[in-house]
Amino acid sequence: MARLVMKFGGTSVGDIDRIRNVAAHVQREVDAGHQVAVVVSAMSGETNRLVGLTRDVARLHDAREYDVVVSAGEQVSVGLLAMALQDVGVAARSWLGWQIAMKTSDVHGAARIEDVDVAAMEEQFGEGRVAVIAGFQGISGNGRITTLGRGGSDTSAVAVAAALKADRCDIYTDVDGVYTTDPRMVPAAQKMNRISYEEMLEMASLGAKVLQTRSVELAMSHNVRLQVRSSFDAPDDAKFKNMAPDDIVGTLICDEDEIMEHEIVSGIAYARNEAKLTLLGVPDRPGIAAQIFGPLADAAVNVDMIVQNMSPDGKTTDVTFTVSQDELERAVKVVEAEKVGLDYSQLQSAPEMAKISIVGVGMRSHAGVAQKMFKVLADQGINIHVISTSEIKISVLIDADYVEPAVRALHAAYGLDEEVAG
Ligand code: ASP
Ligand code: MG
């Protein structure tokens, strides 16, 4: 017998048929003898609708009341799922955030989970009852309803799994796992069986939008084994027969030590929405970087890659950095407003950039990984504007037009393409 947390997103509970399908997945695990807690999101489109209502009533509204409204979608879906489970003979009850209690900070709209009290739920496991838990919501120290930020029910699920010391947290979604790169772009992309927390964090924050990044951070710090798997599998599919608790059907996100054989590069992520700014002829003196990036931070512009060139004459230098396209206009305004103090000669901006990253823990112990990336891009005639690296990742900034050929060529070069039989 294992203890499982199963999480279903908005599309998975999008209508009554889909909710019955979820109930069948839950029933399968209960029949296999497992203790089950289910975390669900609102029915698809519902949270957007609720957010729209809050905007219609008043542009500037009380953030505490915003949370009361937008958390309502999950109240509906937990109730419906509990009914659907009872309807097929599975004992179940719903739990709202305050009932568990899922205790959070009081930053409304983006609250952080502080503590999850699972005692009452655990008692009911003893009676064979499934706990159906509303994702995305919690309760602040002041007793007000909070929400965790959009996509937050992944994080709710991981928090519940950590508190319950669950054997696994299964995230059921509309894809059947985590791929080596976006399969819509590269048909030869392969589903990974396992990926380490660290690699998944890089993939998630670099644009592979399978999981909320915070849920992966939380899973890593509490060692929660996370599985991404499809909610579109038939609940009674033959492959689920006689499964051992450790068998994986999707992608397992786990500790590096649980992975025997590491590819040097595990996956390739891309983000199209990048823009580049270059300040030419900036005086080369101490404090200049702080003078550029301080005002940008104050204006809440998120700066990603940064390069400062050396100055041949020791007097002036060039500084290049990237921001997301939606923040470009704001960034330009901030830098222009500082023109007098910064005393640069010219500001250039390029709005249509993309960032391509190769990710893999195997990079730590292998030389020549970066060199290969640069060679592959050069062979494609693709110019690299900015490079940045971490221990397990190399990112390059290129013109957005070349994303597809770059990702395809790199995917093949690092041996990630699926072999086609024949
Ligand atoms: N229902 C919430 C949202 O749409 C939470 C979630 O789906 O994870 O953002
Ligand atoms: Mg989601």
User: Is the C-alpha dihedral spanning 317, 318, 320, 326 positive or negative?
Assistant: positive
Residues 13 and 141 grouped into a single domain: yes
CA of 187 to the centre of ligand 2 (A): 23
Residues 306 and 227 grouped into a single domain: no
pTM: 0.88
Residues 298 and 221 grouped into a single domain: no
Residues 241 and 273 grouped into a single domain: no
Which of 7, 136, 146, when mutated, tests ligand 1's pocket best, judged by the most ligand atoms within 8 Å of its CB?
A: 136
Domain membership flag for residue 419: no
> Which one of 195, 222, 257 terminates a domain?
257
The number of CA neighbours under 13 Å toward the Cβ of 128 is 10
Helix ranges, 91-208 (H): 97-100, 119-126, 153-164, 197-205
Domain membership flag for residue 262: no
Residue 97 tokens, joined: 């955030």
Domain membership flag for residue 185: no
- pLDDT value at 415 more than 70: yes
Cα-Cα end-to-end distance for the chain: 43
Q: Which residues contact 365 (CB under 8 A, 6 or more apart)?
A: none
Residues 237 and 170 grouped into a single domain: yes
Better-predicted residue by pLDDT, 236 or 71: 71
Domain membership flag for residue 183: no
Residues 271 and 248 grouped into a single domain: no
What are residue 38's phi and psi, to 5 degrees? -115, 135
Alpha-carbon gap, residue 257 to 255, rounded angstroms: 5
- In the prediction, which pLDDT does 313 show? 80
Q: What is the mean pLDDT of the chain?
A: 93
Domain membership flag for residue 184: no
Which CATH number belongs to the domain containing residue 231 in this structure?
Answer: 3.40.1160.10
Q: What angle do CA 410, 249, 47 make, to 5 degrees?
A: 85
Which of 13, 150, 169, when mutated, tests ligand 1's pocket best, judged by the most ligand atoms within 8 Å of its CB?
A: 150
Q: In 3-state terms, what secondary structure has residue 372?
A: helix
CA of 417 to the centre of ligand 1 (A): 33
Domain membership flag for residue 193: no
Counting from 1 in the atom list of ligand 1, the atom nearest the Cα of 73 is 1
How many structural domains does the chain have? 2
CA of 44 to the centre of ligand 2 (A): 10
Residues 232 and 293 grouped into a single domain: no
Q: In 3-state terms, what secondary structure has residue 183?
A: coil
Q: Is the CB of 151 under 6 A from ligand 1?
A: yes
Q: Is the CB of 21 under 6 A from ligand 1?
A: no
Ligand number, closest to the Cα atom of 73: 1
Residues 234 and 292 grouped into a single domain: no
- In the prediction, which pLDDT does 314 show? 81
Residues 98 and 246 grouped into a single domain: yes
CA of 148 to the centre of ligand 1 (A): 9
Q: Is the CB of 147 under 6 A from ligand 1?
A: no
Q: Is the CB of 357 under 6 A from ligand 1?
A: no
Please give the single-letter amino acid code of residue 285: R
Cα Rg, the chain, nearest whole Å: 24
Task: Please compute the mean of the pLDDT values over residues 138-160 and round it to a whole number.
Answer: 97
CA of 230 to the centre of ligand 1 (A): 18
Residues 92 and 215 grouped into a single domain: yes
CA of 91 to the centre of ligand 2 (A): 27
Domain membership flag for residue 421: no
Residue showing tokens 């990253």: 357
Which CATH number belongs to the domain containing residue 357 in this structure?
Answer: 3.30.2130.10
Q: Is the CB of 47 under 6 A from ligand 1?
A: yes
| Sheet of strand 137-139: strand arrangement | 113-116, 102-104, 137-139, 145-147
CA of 75 to the centre of ligand 2 (A): 17
Give the structural domain span for 229: 3-175+210-257
- pLDDT value at 219 more than 70: yes
178-199, pLDDT tens digit by residue? 999 998 899 999 999 999 999 9
Task: For ligand 2, an ion, list residues with CB under 5 A.
Answer: 9, 151
Q: In 3-state terms, what secondary structure has residue 58?
A: coil
Residue 245 tokens, joined: 């608790």
> Which one of 233, 257, 281 terminates a domain?
257
Closest CA to 214 of 104, 89, 311: 104
- In the prediction, which pLDDT does 421 show? 62
Residues 360 and 236 grouped into a single domain: no
Residues 324 and 239 grouped into a single domain: no
Residue nearest to atom 9 of ligand 1 (CA): 150
- pLDDT value at 254 more than 70: yes
Better-predicted residue by pLDDT, 37 or 210: 37
- In the prediction, which pLDDT does 207 show? 60
Domain membership flag for residue 200: no
User: Is the C-alpha dihedral spanning 362, 365, 366, 370 positive or negative?
Assistant: positive
